[in-house]
A and B are shown apart, each in its own frame.
Chain A
């Protein structure tokens, strides 16, 4: 029997994150309370060096398999992993002061966060149904624990339990689907699955279609599309704001990769089948997400429903089944993360000295308190609404173009109508910020924002405008990473 040592070079970023997570875990145990910043900086160092590591590895033209076909290194994976690391680093930066103020500045947040990042990286680079599941579970388990980080808060515990129960159910469904696919194709390797499925002339194979349905349900749950969206509002509202910030951002990139890997790479020849399902998911998400968001007074719940509606738009590109559409969706997911980090970032930063930003009303008169943050929040909101000059418009434009290209004009019309509905609640946030006076309670509260946080949130806001004027570079990058 010959023992083949796997080539570990392609997996280097993951190994690095794994090692660093363990080191952070151990180091944190020996730290005093006031030395906790070391954990924070080690985490940031890890994420930034991984980002640099990914960028610095020479771009390979051909994708490379590793770990016996369970893992693939390609440009799509690299691009998404780069953004996941950058976004997570930003998330940790925005959360830092919030965690300190709320007695949550503990090593667990960062260690769990790093393990979550590792899970996302595995998801992004997975090349078999098994590694997809492993990555997903690693991420989900970290998230369950992070939500419950604040032990004394009953709402957080409730949210964590809810997410855990529903999440396990979804994982079970996903696993069930995987087992059916395995039953039909005899392999979990995506390449083999793809080959077997496309070789089948009889696409009505009941087992295969059932497997596909279960897979789509599982994926839709993780992405948070209607009707599998119930967990999102409760979790966002219940979790500490910094954790909601984490959940809402980078995991969406991973979820996008997951869908591309499973549906496009693995089951691409069943496109006719999953297109129908995604159309339904997409319409429901866009409409229900936007309609329900109107009724919200809690800003985190509103952003949760806004997320749901954005997933609907994201699916538009994927369901078109063209390279153009995938690249549009990828662009959308990156832009979405940029916007949501900005929105939750502002909320997190403003939640200071015991006064949380809970309701949209709490932002009243923000313009008088901090004109610059107010401007950034307006930029983010307008971008989410899809008003041009902000990058959110091009993201919507790209996915709409993808569906119009394949002749589904009615779907595009539903999309744009739902975005008009959505514009209402984004504008309402602007109304509170700019047209209303400061609430009495907050009049005396002075805002203290660290310099680095201010710098990054400004960059975040300005990037939305800059990309709104010149989105070309990012778009080309997205298309290029999907080409192989």
Chain B
């Protein structure tokens, strides 16, 4: 019965309409948060329906909806999901519920607008993942900037204006080049359908131009070194919920862009320029890993760790070309791409959880500085358990989701070349170094000061949100097949596409 409904449209517009309703609904926080939670949970239920009814045997787009939208541009309101977008939609819906729970009584200032912004943001992000029309994708992709701009700007920290302008202008700057590339391809294909772009023959010159246009846009979004400088500022200044959504979802949109646009549309340029991406990824893994080691601010540390982890993701996408050059076939490339996908989902959960942990501490002590903490385990044992678990997941401990993705990507790159895998595996060492050092300084040791001594342990609400995340992290870590099984067909299809030359 449910499959008759336009599930994707529901998942997009239900939270948006819910958010608008909250905006007009007056300022009663008790009612607002219940309403927002209901909308969030219902949206999550809608998206779980996508998971249960998903056909894992096919790489074709599922749950498609297509309506004529702007005939002048031959653009359609075309939605659909495959093995790449569906898990990310699920992640989006899940994390929004967590964010709503996390801001339950913490946000005091303009509460209803805060909730509304996150719900609208959720709809737009699901729209980004579900859009099969490039113009529609672009519209969601850009529209997303507005709520995030307001979230950081209104509820952010002391340098919020600087951070939010940097965030907005940096991402806007990247995406306009993508717009030009999209219009150019529309001119060739006479259509804005992404799937038509996949089939569009392009010569090397055009592919290069389009490759760089997309790269600029997605590299800023991911963000890859050296386009990462907006991220630490945005993360540090954003409110807890904003940081969670930024880390968990919006960064994934960059990675998703690589899979949906760059690899299938410009395969030849990607094959020629794979060294560029590999270099950028490895620099991110190693260099940014070292930078993370040096951070004094917890949020900044997690932000840099995000950049470093996303380096593994982009490495996994592009390792297949070197693999092919070395071994002559593509066996093992599937593992790289699937590993990257798992890493994206896992990073979404883990970094989101870590930002929530920092948020929990910040709500109590109003400081994010590592030096202000120490010995938290003595006063907050339950919290310490969670935080240590998530830190372990961040460091890639086997049994947690963080291990699966990194392991798969490193395995894949090992087949492509020893040195590639050698450098990539620095992520395990550096990741362990900066997270364990963080744990040591914040959680363990002697109680640093009276404030820490008087900390209250997590309440039921915080336990609820943290344990939801912990369970998911463990399930994916122990049984990754839940996630990888839905994307086999799609990954094979992508490999077929991106290994065929378009010249």
Contact = CB atoms under 8 A, between A and B. Distances in A.
Contacts of B184: 404, 409
A216 to B, nearest CB: 27
Contact of A431 (B140, B161, B186): B161
A435 B139 contact: no
Contacts of A424: 165, 169
A397 B179 contact: yes
Contact of B187 (A382, A401, A417): A401
Contacts of B143: 387-389
A221 to B, nearest CB: 30
Contacts of A419: 176
B183 interface: yes
Nearest to A387: B142
A130 B139 CA distance: 45
A189 to B, nearest CB: 33
A387 B146 contact: yes
Contacts of A45: none
A417 B169 CA distance: 11
B153 A434 contact: yes
A416 interface: yes
Contacts of A479: 72
A412 B178 CA distance: 12
A472 B149 contact: no
B169 A472 contact: no
Contacts of B146: 382, 387, 389
Contacts of A427: 149, 165, 168-169
Interface in B115-164: 135, 138-140, 142-143, 145-146, 149-150, 153-154, 160-161
A401 B177 CA distance: 13
A384 B160 CA distance: 23
A299 to B, nearest CB: 18
A471 B135 CA distance: 13
B183 A404 contact: yes
B173 interface: yes
Given A420-B172, A423-B169, A475-B72, A397 B149 contact: no
Interface residues of B, number: 32
A93 B160 CA distance: 38
A476 B72 CA distance: 7
Given A387-B145, A405-B187, A416 B177 contact: yes
Contacts of A382: 146
A472 B72 contact: yes
A397 B73 CA distance: 9
B1 interface: no
B154 A434 contact: yes
A181 B16 CA distance: 57
A439 to B, nearest CB: 17
B139 A412 contact: no
Interface in A151-170: none
B71 interface: yes
B382 interface: no
A400 interface: yes
A37 interface: no
A400 B180 contact: yes
Contacts of B149: 427, 430
Contact of A393 (B71, B142, B169): B142
A391 to B, nearest CB: 11
Contacts of B72: 398, 472, 475-476, 479
- Where chain B touches its partner, the secondary structure class is helix
B69 interface: yes
Given A434-B154, A472-B71, A417 B183 contact: no
Interface string A459-480: 0000000000011100110010
B212 to A, nearest CB: 12
A379 to B, nearest CB: 10
Interface string A414-439: 00110110011001001100110000
Contacts of A59: none
A427 B186 CA distance: 30
A355 interface: no
B70 interface: yes
Contacts of B135: 397
Contacts of B187: 401, 404-405
A400 B153 contact: no
B69 A472 contact: yes
B134 to A, nearest CB: 12
A413 interface: yes
B49 to A, nearest CB: 25
- Looking at B69, B146, B150, B184, the one whose CB has the most chain A CB atoms below 10 A away is B146
B25 to A, nearest CB: 13
A420 B179 CA distance: 12
A416 B139 contact: no
A409 B180 contact: yes
A400 B179 contact: yes
Nearest to A328: B72
B180 A413 contact: yes
Given A424-B165, A431-B161, A416 B180 contact: yes
Nearest to A431: B161
Given A388-B142, A472-B70, A476-B72, A412 B180 contact: yes
B165 A412 contact: no
Contacts of B150: 434
A129 B177 CA distance: 41
Interface in B219-270: none
Nearest to A327: B72
Interface in B67-102: 69-73
A398 B74 CA distance: 12
Contacts of B142: 387-389, 393
Given A435-B154, A476-B71, A476-B72, A404 B180 contact: yes
Contact of B139 (A393, A430, A475, A476): A393
Contact of A423 (B69, B71, B168): B168
Given A400-B180, A431-B153, A434-B153, A388 B138 contact: yes
Interface of A: 382, 387-389, 393-394, 397-398, 400-401, 404-405, 409, 412-413, 416-417, 419-420, 423-424, 427, 430-431, 434-435, 470-472, 475-476, 479
8 contacts: A387-B142, A387-B145, A387-B146, A397-B179, A400-B183, A401-B73, A404-B187, A435-B153
When A and B form their complex, which 3 residue pairs have the shortest distance between CB atoms, in order from nearest? Answer: A389-B143, A416-B176, A388-B139
